[in-house]
Copies of this chain bind each other. A is one copy, B any other.
Amino acid sequence: MSLHELQSRVNAWMSQWKDGYWTPHENLARLTEEVGELAREINHSHGPKKKKKGEGEGSIAEELGDIIFVVVALANSMDIDLDAVMDATFAKYNVRDKDRFERNE
């Protein structure tokens, strides 16, 4: 799946609904919620958190999917092209962080 297709599929999903895209603050709140669910799963699988009685199995992969979905919805709602964004992100790191960490020999 390409980023472009991903943005189209999210747009097709959002266009079904009368409300359409949420506001930036509402999408941010949803992203905060999904990152919170990822945090809970990581504390369960890689940390000290015990499941409450009756609490079902969660999945880090599922939470990453929810996070990517709302990030793409945010981008769509602001006409942001994620292909251009990711090219710029790699370019930024390749300059800014080229000496920031210890390299493999």
A interface residues, tally (CB under 8 Å)? 69
Classify the secondary structure of A's interface with B: helix
Assuming the A-B contacts A17-B103, A83-B1, are A39 and B29 also in contact, with contact meaning beta carbons closer than 8 angstroms in the complex? yes
A residues apposed to B, CB below 8 Å: 1-3, 6, 9, 13, 15-19, 22-26, 28-40, 42-43, 45-50, 52, 60-62, 64-69, 71, 74-75, 78, 80, 82-90, 92-93, 96, 100-104
> Closest Cβ of chain B: how far from A54's Cβ, in Å?
12
> Closest Cβ of chain B: how far from A34's Cβ, in Å?
7
Enumerate chain B residues within 8 angstroms of A103, measured Cβ to Cβ.
Answer: 16-18
> Closest Cβ of chain B: how far from A50's Cβ, in Å?
5
